[in-house]
Structure 1
Amino acid sequence: MPAPRSKPPFRAEHIGSLLRPKELFQKRALFEEKKCTRQDLEVLEDEAIKKVVKMQEELGFKGITDGELRRGMFFEGVFETMEGMTVIPRRPLTEFKQYVPLVSLMNAFGMKEFPSIFCTGKIKRTVPWYAKQFEYLKTLVPPEEVKNLKITVCPPTWFHQRHGSDLTYDLSIYKNDDEYFTDLAKAYQEEIAHLYSLGCRNIQFDDATFCFLCDDRMISGLKEDGVDHSSLLQTYIKAMNQCVEGREPDLVVGIHMCRGNIKGGMHCSEGGYAPIAQKLFQELNFDCFYLEYDTDRSGDFQPLKYLPPNKIAVLGLVTTKKPQLENVDELKARIYEAADIIAEGVPKRSKENALNQLCLSPQCGFASGWEGNPLTEEDERNKLALVAEVAKEVWG
């Protein structure tokens, strides 16, 4: 088993995206309607990021993000910037895999088309993805805190899952998934190395594709389509591992496994982590797993028995989908329950060591898309304050 990497000593974490303050929300709406310029929007983004950074500092959070306030959607800024990728603003829904939970939701809404990407040439990273965002964020914290700043990125599997191996890339360019993901991984490696050179030491992949592989509808659909569920899981683990190959020892990499967080706080998929936990926890070469555990549809803690001793599980027990605050004692009880299961896992370890492998966070971000979840900024602050309070009571 690989030696443990250094990790942020944070017990209170947050996933990354934060609600847009009122002024920015209104300006973003104008921008989406093409009634203001990107430069007009950036002025308010700068001020809003200052505000959300200050809030995180006041609440005691160390893994500070810019709230993804410059993005319309959490995955923006990657695929559409690369050479070889063609943006399709109105791709027919018939070219999406119908069993993917997100696509099922699109069908339920009566949608006939949706923006997407198709790979039409050899993939190459020609411009930085997040350098400008990180550079501005650096100016808002003391130099000694730069190492704690967190950048969130979308996974390399994001478009592949919804279109499958037959409709993700031109088969005259890439003959198979291995070729496609190998070149895509090179682009990720370059971006990660660039961010590291700027001082970034904390990167979080925001991923829904693994959770979708826990949904019975998805598993059944894959089977009917002649795709082996286990093989696809292995393909995605390999793709993610390739993206972080060669990273520096002090760069912490995490993954948030999301069940969907779209406009209005809706989710897409259901099912616990059991179908993927053993392979994912043991074979994905990441340092920490941000896990959603805010509702019954998330399943129980039993999959945590597969968590290796050198990795961290961040328990997303506090929901971002509704404003009601969770009970402090119940949150603490759930944390200790999770620690008990890890302690009795493979291999067994002391309860103290198991508890030290845990952190606390909200279950997801507050605004995976710019419209955000149905909470106010005050609700958001109260939720994050609750996470900080409980983490302090459990870990000191």
Structure 2
Amino acid sequence: MSGQAPFRADVVGSFLRPKYLHQARQEFAEGKLIQAELTDVENKAIKELVAQQKALGLSVITDGEFRRSWWHLDFMWGLGGVEKVRIGEGYTFATVKSRAESAALTGKITGENHPFIDHFNYLKQFSEEGVVPRLTIPAPAQFLKELEREPNRAQTRAVYPNKEELFADIVKAYQTIIQDVYAAGCRNLQLDDCTWGMLTDPKFQQTAGQLVEACGCGDDHHFDTPTALNEILNTHLRINNAALAGAPDDLVLTTHVCRGNFRSTWAASGGYESVAEVLLGQLNVDAFYLEFDTERAGDFTPLRHLAADKKVVLGLISSKVPELESAEVVIARIQEASEYVPLKNLYLSTQCGFASTEEGNELTEAQQWAKIELVQAIAKRVWQD
């Protein structure tokens, strides 16, 4: 096995919270626990989670995102100039809506003293030879998209009338955090990003003109849908690459592309072809964690756009359903993907985390670990390095 990410048997990052952690978070919300008491419970849960990850032989450990309510919003709330807000409507998924929370600006964006640095410091103590601690954060494009959501857009424009100043401050904040977490010892940073996944869906593509206006990329009246889509893709590429510029050479940067993961449901459907040339060919990361667990993700042909020497972690095991996949079917799909990407540059994981929000997906902890064991077993059969 390689000593750095990605790993042949890999994970996306989030895990189901134990019941006692759910209870502690509820008591904290009700004022029955103080922050220090909640932190003690979180520490206990993370320590147990890491022990389980190690027991299963994983080469990477995460804190399961146990200190977060959301995979992305908690990070945004930790930035200077950002506050937690209630909004009129949550995110829309196939069969349900999420809680109606978001992140809005109160002033200029800064990245100093982000609480996730302390989160990583706690995780780091459990690292050892052959076990890499990973931090997961939302990508800069995801933050930009949140600030340009309809409930937040007016406030964003009030603080940043000039969109280039907004871009510049987002980039600077991320660069600050990247340097700080690197100084704390992090050598594997994962950028989670739904922006690309949403744009694979034809229904989202049809509203590309309005999205161009929302992100401040241009005047939607001057763009047909393909041109507008291209504007959005290049905006996401520009802000992500700018934020990653200057990152230390030995910091492994990866990205996970998601189509929505909330209580076992999803938000978007569509193959990668419409985004692959920009995403896989031009984004400056070392590896891509891509969902391929259902027909909603399309086939492997878009992988032909992958830049030379980049790596792909195939998300072929579903984190949304309790049923175990057929190892033979998964192995056959890995071989199919190897027609586009050399097998040495392919890896295996679940298609997403098990709990992108604290609610978690609709399966048990035992079923969760059975999924990880399946990933491990298949990886050992396919790759013997």
Alignment TM-score, normalising by the size of structure 2: 0.89
Q: Which residue of 1 aligns with 2:100?
A: 114
Query: In 2 relative to 1, CA 338–109 (structure 1 residues): closer, same or farther, beyond 3 Å?
Result: closer
Matches within 5 A, 1:223-372: 223=209, 226=220, 228-262=228-262, 264-342=263-341, 354-372=342-360
Matched residue type, 1:266: T
Instruction: Work out whether 1:38 is the aligned partner of 2:22.
Output: no
Give SS of 1:323's match. Answer: coil
Identify unmatched segments of 5+ residues in structure 2: 212-219
Instruction: Give the SS at the match of 1:275.
Output: helix
Which residue in the other structure is 1:155 paired with? 139
Check conservation: 1:129, 1:191, Cα contact below 8 A.
Answer: no
Q: Partner of 1:70 in structure 2?
A: 67
Whether contact under 8 Å (2:134, 2:187) holds in the other structure is yes
Stretches of structure 1 that go unaligned for 5 or more consecutive residues are: 1-5, 94-101, 343-353
Structure 1: distance between partners of 2:24 and 2:206:
43
Please tell me whether residue 198 in structure 1 is matched to residue 184 in structure 2: yes
Q: Give the structure 2 partner of residue 380 of structure 1.
A: 368
Report deviation, 1:185.
Answer: 1.0
CA contact (8 A) 1:156 1:181 kept: no
Percent identity between the two aligned chains: 38
Secondary structure at the residue paired with 2:340?
helix
Task: Give the C-alpha shift of residue 25 in structure 1.
Answer: 2.5
1:7 is displaced (CA, Å) by 4.7
Distance in structure 2 (CA, Å) of the matches to 1:192 and 1:334: 35
Is 1:25 aligned to residue 22 of structure 2? Answer: yes
The amino acid of 1:389's aligned partner reads A
Q: Which deviates the most, 209-218 or 126-135?
A: 126-135
Change (3 A) 1:170 1:50: closer
Matches within 5 A, 1:51-90: 51-89=48-86
Q: Does structure 2 conserve the Cα–Cα contact (< 8 Å) formed by 1:118 and 1:168?
A: no
Q: 2: distance between equivalents of 1:25 and 1:104?
A: 23
Shift of 1:163: 5.7
SS of 1:123's equivalent? strand
**Following the alignment from structure 1 to structure 2, what is the Cα–Cα distance between the partners of residues 325 and 305?**
29
Whichever residue aligns with residue 107 of structure 2, its letter is G
Name the CA distance, whole Å, in 2 between partners of 1:105 and 1:213. Answer: 15
Q: Conserved in 2, the CA contact under 8 Å of 1:314 and 1:360?
A: yes
Matched residues in 2 for 1:104 and 1:372: separation?
16
Cα pair distance change 1:359/1:20, threshold 3 Å: same
Shift of 1:69: 0.8
- The CA distance in 2 between the partners of 1:249 and 1:40, in whole Å, is 38
Deviation at 1:16, TM superposition (A): 0.2
Residue number among 114, 117, 120 corresponding to 1:128 in the alignment: 114
1:84 match: secondary structure: strand
The number of aligned residues is 366
1:14 to 8, 11, 14: 11
